[in-house]
């Protein structure tokens, strides 16, 4: 699901959860385990996060989301999941290494948050990023890093996209002042 290779002071984490690297409970556990391995290697100076799939990360596993909400204690389960996910993002932000997300394909919802937790992001010209859950009942789950890391934008197109949940190509993000 997540592999780790270390060479020349660079730790490469590769997301390998076909088809879209959806974030599940197990994904969070394995990601934390890989970060533990990196912590044990003081020779690592850079953490490179990439995907083996056609997308970077599509966000939360919607099957698990549905199962959580269908459970009698669904809201509590959802809250626990989101809390664990935010703790993972916080941990990535606090890593002493320089963190770089290589985004090809799509980075949506929690996948965009994962990329935003990194210090740097390299985004393919045809990549798509967005927070499709904006306007849904799950808006508190993600978006914190997007609000904190992306500079305010005076571009009407960007404002409309934030409200309408539309995704834009990388070129528009750059033009509108996004990272």
Question: Active site includes 37?
Answer: no
User: From the CB of residue 69, how many other CB atoms can be counted at a distance below 10 Å?
Assistant: 13
Question: Active site includes 173?
Answer: no
Residue 19: cis peptide before it, omega within 30 degrees of 0: yes
User: Across the strands, what pairs with 130?
Assistant: 108
CA distance 86 to 89: 5
Catalytic residue among 64, 102, 113, 173: 113
| Inter-residue contact 161 to 168 (CB < 8 Å) | yes
Closest by CA position to 124, among listed 54, 75, 28: 54
Catalytic residue among 64, 102, 133, 173: 133
Q: Both tokens of residue 53?
A: 């799939």
Active site residues: 113, 133
């Amino acid at each position: 699901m997540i592999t780790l290779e270390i060479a020349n002071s660079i730790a490469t984490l590769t997301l390998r959860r076909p088809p879209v690297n959806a974030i599940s409970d197990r994904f969070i556990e394995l990601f934390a385990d890989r970060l533990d391995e990196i912590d044990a290697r003081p020779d690592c100076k850079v953490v490179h996060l990439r995907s083996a799939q056609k997308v970077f990360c599509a966000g939360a596993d919607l099957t698990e989301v549905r199962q959580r909400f269908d459970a009698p204690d669904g809201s509590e389960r959802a809250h626990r999941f989101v809390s664990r996910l935010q703790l993972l993002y916080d941990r990535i932000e606090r890593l002493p290494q320089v963190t770089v997300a290589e985004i090809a394909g799509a980075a949506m919802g929690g996948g965009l948050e994962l990329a935003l937790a990194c210090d740097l992001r390299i985004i393919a010209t045809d990549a798509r990023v967005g927070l499709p859950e904006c306007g849904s009942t799950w808006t508190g789950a993600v978006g914190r890093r997007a609000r904190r890391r992306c500079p305010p934008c005076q571009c009407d197109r960007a404002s409309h996209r934030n409200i309408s949940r539309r995704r834009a190509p990388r070129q528009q993000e750059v033009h509108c002042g996004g990272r």
